[in-house]
């Protein structure tokens, strides 16, 4: 176990500086509350390790600077490379967005996981880094009240927004875990220094979702609205971020209930299992829902509405503050006004951002864009986003990382967006094809992932405002310039939530809750704004094929087709952002079956019949518990689809 000195723990933080400056003041090893675990070694199991009591941690929690250092350590933990890799492994590796690159062995973990052979021995399933982050949060929550007693300048009102920040970070961690593993320990107790051995059993998926919602509902009104700087407003938890997370969790729980899903019915118990429940009870569990899917979908809509209204308020405040409302007219903001633009000019002078500000450059290049809600801050020096180098594209060596984009999805374009086809991802006028993948040469059989890797993407021809045909490879050389980040300064922030996702979450919830034309049209409008931003030529009056290039409501006027449109648009918008697998699982949850989801995934596999057999059970959508966890913690059980045995990927008696 790694211990840091009290001096390292007590460095004051200047809250007036930008967050990236603040984070640099925290040591690279990771801030650690003595005996507690702010920097537990990644090879040690937080849930099972017995803590040391050699140093008295009460010496630390003396004033607000101690508390703020500990708070910043929570953020630091979230941006550690081991967790950045988990966001991508868990959210993309099993999806159809990526395939194994040629530089990765055909028999290793990446290849096996992509072929639905999930061995519990694989490091990708090690959840310790996420539980270390949860422990950091729990440590702050446990000791924050002590600072109120010890520091007269720190009040209960000062503590409440910090408490809201930390509870939200903890909820986000649990949300990642429950979506990935299904049944997990829900940990609200910090890891103490009193020789206690912390071993906790798993809770069911529904119980975890309920707990996350209860926690977030309890603090939603305590979170900060404005920290005073852009970097902190984007890089720390705000009330807008709390509401975005609540919308996401309600959407997931609604989908779980809509498919009448239940706890794992078959689990594998290790020989030393000490849980209170018997194997027979575990095999036939049932839960009653306290709310309906419909009420949860409505909650999702309500929280999305709040975030959208808050974004409008912030936009209007910005306009007034900077004197952009010439003439003082009443400003009516539309949905498109809240998203970063790909236009050089606007019909509304007060939302003009300048010719150099394209959506990709603002969101993924510079970072902390206006539409951003919450993103983990990476400065490229103290904290480098090495994950995108390893998994997307090795900038220094100029070669693929572990993942590439399959030719079947990126090698061509759909001729129209007015289809529910699961073929090519992008249509012929979509900027995002050039933002997502790297075009180095013609005739590629797979495509390197360029999102986050590219710092800027610009059109060389200043007179051409629009891409008209993505299928033309000549666009790479003649029109598109992709400028990569420096290998020595990989400073790409990791975006958790941005406004386009709020639009699409609301559209998804509307498509599930209503079947009338008015509400489905409302859902369509939210999707259209996200699509339109990246397809400006499709909506340009000079486009003679606009009727085919732009989205048409008549093609998506049923609940089923609207749901598929949202799913397709989410894929176009969030490729490489660690969301696709969760979208597919949520799609399957609503049906209580993997069958339709597997139709979407089928183009990824050559041995689709074998894959369908492996993924036939809903539990197979969740990852196995890391084998070492099962060995060390005799309160844990294994997802019954995946074997506890190290030599087998799957139980035979499912």
Quickly list DSSP for 387-451: HHHHHTEETTTTEE-SEEEEHHHHSS-BS-SSS---S-SSBTT-THHHHHEE--STT-SEEEE-T
Question: Do the beta carbons of residue 420 and residue 565 sit within 8 Å?
Answer: yes
Q: Strand (E) positions, 102-225?
A: none
Confidence of residue 51 (pLDDT cuts 50, 70, 90): very low
Question: Do the beta carbons of residue 196 and residue 58 sit within 8 Å?
Answer: no
For the question of whether the overall pTM of this predicted structure is more than 0.85, the answer is yes
The mean pLDDT of the chain is 85
Give the per-residue pLDDT at 609. 83
Q: Strand (E) positions, 71-135?
A: 99-100
Give the per-residue pLDDT at 471. 78
Percent of the chain having pLDDT more than 90? Answer: 66
Span 11-31, mean pLDDT? Answer: 34
**Quick one: tokens of 12?**
């004051």
* pLDDT at position 34 over 50: no
Question: Do the beta carbons of residue 491 and residue 385 sit within 8 Å?
Answer: yes
Of residues 217, 230, 131, the one with CA closest to residue 168: 217
List CB contacts of 89: < 8 A, sequence separation 6 or more.
124, 391
What are the two backbone dihedrals, phi and then psi, of residue 7, each rounded to the nearest 5 degrees?
A: -60, -40
The model's pLDDT over 580-634, given as tens digits with 9 standing for 90+, comes to 999 999 999 999 999 999 999 988 876 778 888 899 999 999 999 999 999 889 9
Span 187-214, mean pLDDT? Answer: 84
Give the integer Cα–Cα distance in Å for 497 and 579: 11
Most confident of 105-119, 151-165, 635-649: 151-165
The answer to which of 211-215, 354-358, 468-472, 538-542 has the lowest mean pLDDT is 354-358
**Quick one: tokens of 422?**
């699961």
Confidence of residue 470 (pLDDT cuts 50, 70, 90): confident
């Amino acid at each position: 176990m790694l211990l840091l000195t009290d001096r390292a723990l007590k460095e004051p933080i200047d809250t007036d500086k930008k967050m990236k400056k603040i984070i640099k003041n925290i040591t690279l090893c990771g801030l650690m509350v003595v005996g507690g675990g702010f920097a537990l070694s990644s090879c040690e199991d937080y849930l099972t390790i017995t803590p040391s009591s050699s140093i008295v941690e009460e010496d630390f929690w003396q004033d607000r600077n101690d508390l703020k250092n500990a708070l910043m350590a929570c953020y630091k933990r979230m941006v550690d490379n081991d967790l950045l890799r988990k966001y991508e492994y868990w959210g993309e590796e099993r999806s159809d967005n990526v395939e194994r690159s040629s530089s990765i062995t055909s028999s290793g973990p990446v290849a096996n996981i992509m072929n639905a052979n999930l061995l519990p021995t694989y490091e990708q399933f090690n959840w310790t880094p996420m539980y270390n982050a949860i422990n950091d949060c729990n440590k702050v929550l446990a000791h924050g009240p002590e600072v109120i007693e010890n520091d007269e300048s720190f009040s209960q009102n000062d503590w409440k927004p910090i408490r809201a920040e930390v509870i939200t970070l903890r909820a986000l961690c649990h949300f990642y875990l429950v979506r990935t593993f299904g049944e997990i320990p829900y940990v609200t107790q910090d890891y103490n220094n009193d020789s206690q051995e912390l071993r906790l059993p798993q809770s069911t998926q529904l119980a975890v979702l309920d707990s996350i919602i209860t926690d977030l509902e309890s603090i939603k009104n305590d979170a900060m609205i404005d920290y005073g700087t852009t970097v902190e407003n984007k890089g720390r938890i705000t009330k807008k971020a709390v509401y975005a997370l609540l919308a996401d969790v309600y959407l997931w729980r609604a989908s779980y209930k809509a498919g009448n899903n239940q706890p794992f019915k078959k689990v594998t118990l290790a020989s030393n299992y000490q849980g209170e429940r018997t194997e027979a009870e575990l095999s036939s569990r049932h839960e009653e829902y306290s709310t309906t899917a419909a009420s949860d979908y409505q909650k999702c809509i309500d929280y999305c509405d709040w975030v959208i209204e808050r974004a409008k308020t912030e936009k209007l405040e910005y306009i007034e503050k900077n004197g952009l409302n010439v003439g003082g007219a009443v400003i009516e903001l539309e949905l498109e006004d809240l998203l970063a633009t790909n236009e050089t000019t606007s019909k509304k002078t007060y939302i003009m951002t300048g010719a150099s500000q394209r959506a990709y450059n603002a969101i993924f290049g510079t970072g902390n864009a206006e539409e951003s809600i919450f993103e983990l801050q990476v400065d490229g020096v103290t904290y480098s986003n090495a994950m995108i180098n390893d998994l997307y594209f090795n900038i220094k060596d100029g070669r693929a990382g572990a993942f590439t984009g399959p030719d079947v999805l990126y090698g061509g374009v759909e001729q129209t967006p007015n289809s529910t086809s699961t073929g090519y991802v992008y249509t012929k006028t979509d900027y995002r094809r050039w933002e997502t993948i790297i075009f180095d040469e013609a005739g590629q059989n797979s495509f390197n992932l360029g999102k986050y890797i590219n710092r800027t993407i610009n059109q060389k021809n200043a007179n051409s405002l629009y891409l008209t045909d993505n299928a033309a490879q000549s666009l790479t050389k003649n029109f598109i310039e992709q400028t990569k980040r420096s290998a020595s300064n990989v400073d790409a922030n990791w975006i958790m939530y941005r406004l386009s996702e709020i639009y699409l979450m609301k559209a998804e919830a509307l498509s599930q809750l209503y079947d009338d034309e008015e509400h489905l049209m409302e859902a369509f409008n939210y999707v259209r704004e996200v699509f339109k931003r990246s397809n400006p030529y499709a909506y340009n009056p000079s486009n003679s094929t606009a009727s085919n290039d732009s989205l048409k409501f008549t093609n998506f006027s049923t609940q089923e087709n609207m749901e598929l449109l949202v799913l397709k648009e989410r894929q176009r918008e969030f490729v490489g952002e660690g969301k696709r697998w969760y979208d597919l699982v949520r799609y399957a949850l609503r049906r209580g079956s993997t069958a339709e989801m597997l139709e979407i995934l089928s183009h990824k596999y050559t041995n689709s019949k074998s894959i369908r057999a492996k993924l036939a059970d809903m539990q197979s959508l969740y990852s196995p518990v890391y084998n070492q966890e099962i060995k060390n913690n005799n309160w844990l059980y294994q997802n019954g689809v995946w074997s506890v045995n190290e030599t087998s990927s799957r139980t035979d008696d499912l």
